[in-house]
Amino acid sequence: MTFFFIQFYPHQTYSQTDLEFGGYLQAWYIANHDEDVLYTSTGNLPVLNVQTEHSSSFKIRRARLTAKGTISETFSIRSWVELTAENRSLLDLYLDAKLSEKLTLRSGQMVMPGQSYDTSRHFSSKLLLVERPSVTTKISSMMGYNAFRDVGVVAFGTLGKLWYGIQISNGLGRIHQPGFTFFDRNFGSGLIGGRVDYEIIEGVELGAHLSTNQQRNLIQHGSEPIDINRTSWSLRASFENLLLTGFFANAEYISFNSNDDNWEISSTPGEPFSLSGFYALTGYNITQNWNISARFDQLKGNSDNFSSNQYTFGVTRLIHLDSTEIARLHLDYSFSESGPMNLNESMVVLALQLKFIP
């Protein structure tokens, strides 16, 4: 298995602006993937058949480049670009005004705080398992985020042991064609929300978020006007080195509710729809360079008795240059089952991450 990686070194450019470049690459080898797939047979009476598909493959999961321009101690600008063929796009482009440790104002397209900890503050370059729990990514998407991102303004900072973030944003996800007006709606529509995380004692943290996405007479790409009414909230608890040095655990519960005129995944558009679930992760840092972890995540919806349970186990090897992490190697096994059709999926993944982030 051969991997290629280009490392970018920070350097100064003209004028008073310092420019830094970096990025990271996540390359997967899926050693085994078994998945139950539904097929509909044709005829007078359609019948659903379940077939199991087996596969193995190489995959570039993420390939991202970043550029950061520091204008002064107060102002900076940053961008992140995703280069994979499936999701090639501008992820982030935002301007920061750091007024103090207690308050930073950020405007542009970025990851927003008004969602779960896993999708708002846990970066993909620091994942202990190769993928996030589906409950966090699913609810983030349903709330109106795209890749956990939206366009708007955020105020965040730290007050002692409290971290906070407050947002006002479009509620329509990333803009894929900048400069092109792709939506029309009543004045005042958008997504507002916030998140807090508080360290009770050293190594023990509690957190929560609450957000609402309200759109009135929304028109997208010439669609008929619709109203959107969605809310989400979450609670999280985590601890590290509390019971045993090297031992860590965290759990998060997330809830989502909507009452939209047009709801894509609901079998009864216009009817209230809800989705909720949680994940619980635990692990042990054997050494500075080795850790093991396990996670259970569950997702349930009120439409068609939908449910999903997933179990994931992983071993991670971290590689450092001096005190800086430059690579990590994952070996993960996951198994999931979903209803109401009792579909199963399992996967063994070997993943390599190489990174240089300024």
pLDDT tens per residue across span 140-179 = 999 999 999 999 999 999 999 999 999 999 999 988 655 5
Strand partners, 204: 201, 239
Q: How far is CA 62 from CA 2, 27, 88, 255, 259, in A?
A: 16, 7, 10, 28, 34
Predicted confidence at residue 60, as pLDDT, reads 92
Mean pLDDT of all residues belonging to the chain: 88
pLDDT higher than threshold 80 for residue 265: no
pLDDT higher than threshold 50 for residue 14: no
Number of residues that make up the chain:
358
Predicted confidence at residue 9, as pLDDT, reads 42
- Closest by CA to 134, choosing from 34, 5, 256, 42, is 256
Q: How far is CA 125 from CA 66, 129, 227, 354, in A?
A: 13, 10, 36, 9
Predicted confidence at residue 85, as pLDDT, reads 66
pTM of the model: 0.88
43-71 residue pLDDT tens: 555 556 777 888 899 999 999 999 999 99
Query: Radius of gyration (Cα) for the chain, nearest Å?
Result: 22
pLDDT higher than threshold 70 for residue 322: yes
Out of 96-105, 253-262, 342-351, pick the least confident: 253-262
Q: Mean pLDDT over residues 252-269, rounded?
A: 77
If one counts every other C-beta atom within 10 angstroms of the C-beta of residue 330, the result is 21
DSSP 8-class letter at 225: P
If one counts every other C-beta atom within 10 angstroms of the C-beta of residue 124, the result is 16
DSSP 8-class letter at 189: -
